[in-house]
């Protein structure tokens, strides 16, 4: 039984792999499911990331100044929201 299973798997695996590769990289998948970016969109996203990032001497990629500023603003908003919630909770308990 194992030999039959191995032969069937050996015949089916290349076809299954090719079908999966086609499905994952086709625009049809995106049209039918509406899920995830198309292969072209993924390519454009990667290109934009390369343009924004700057390589440092250590070989690591650092975010641009604009990205760091947006990140800091987001963190500040999150902290303000947390502190605001605590203030409101304290005020409600004192009433």
25 shares its domain with 47: yes
* Domain contains 83: yes
**Which residue in 21, 22, 3 sits closest to 11, CA to CA?**
3
Give the pLDDT confidence score for residue 26 in this predicted structure: 78
| Domain containing residue 79 | 66-95
More confident residue, 91 or 65: 65
34 shares its domain with 72: no
16 shares its domain with 42: yes
Give the pLDDT confidence score for residue 18 in this predicted structure: 92
Give the pLDDT confidence score for residue 68 in this predicted structure: 84
- pTM to 2 decimal places: 0.36
pLDDT classification of 92: cutoffs 50, 70, 90: low
In tens, the pLDDT along 8-60 reads: 999 999 999 999 888 887 777 777 877 777 777 878 888 777 665 555 555 56
Give the pLDDT confidence score for residue 71 in this predicted structure: 86
DSSP-assigned states of every residue in 8-74: HHHHHHHHHHHHHHHHHH-HHHHHHH--S--HHHHHHHHHHHHHH-EE-TTS-EE--HHHHHHHHHH
């Amino acid at each position: 039984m194992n030999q039959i299973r191995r032969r069937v798997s050996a015949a089916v695996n290349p076809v299954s792999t090719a079908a999966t590769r086609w499905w994952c990289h086709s625009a049809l998948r995106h049209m039918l499911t509406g899920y995830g970016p198309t292969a072209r969109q993924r390519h454009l996203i990667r290109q934009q990331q390369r343009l924004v990032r700057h390589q440092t001497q250590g070989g690591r990629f650092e975010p641009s100044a604009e990205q760091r500023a947006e990140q800091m603003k987001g963190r500040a908003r999150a902290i303000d929201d947390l502190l605001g919630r605590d203030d409101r909770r304290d005020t409600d308990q004192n009433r």
